[in-house]
Amino acid sequence: MFRPSHFTALTLFALFASIIFGITMRDTPRRMARYGAYCFVLFVGSAIVLSWVMYFIAR
């Protein structure tokens, strides 16, 4: 049975959500890919930053 870690689940969600955002929000394939990559980086980057903030708040 596949039991992903929290980070793996986050990256899978970010990947699929970014694909959908790229397809639905832009009109040319190049702009779709760029916007999807931008959304992916923002998803993962913000999750990492927020996890460190929560780590320091909890201490």
Task: Decide if pLDDT at 2 tops 90.
Answer: no
Residue 2 lies in a domain: no
Average pLDDT over residues 19-40: 97
Residue carrying the six token digits 């929560």: 54
pLDDT digits (tens, 9 = 90+) for 34-57: 999 999 999 999 999 999 999 999
When divided into structural domains, the chain yields a total of 1
Q: What is the largest CA-CA distance in the chain?
A: 47
What is the dihedral angle through the alpha carbons of 50, 14, 18, 49, rounded to the nearest 10 degrees?
20
Question: Are 47 and 10 in contact, with CB atoms under 8 Å apart?
Answer: yes
Residue 1 has a pLDDT of 85
Residue 3 lies in a domain: no
Residue 27 lies in a domain: yes
Average pLDDT over residues 17-42: 97
Q: Is the pTM of this model over 0.75?
A: yes
- Domain of 43? 8-58
Residue 1 lies in a domain: no
Residue 17 lies in a domain: yes
Residue carrying the six token digits 């992916």: 40
Task: Decide if pLDDT at 33 tops 90.
Answer: yes
Average pLDDT, the chain: 96
Residue 37 lies in a domain: yes
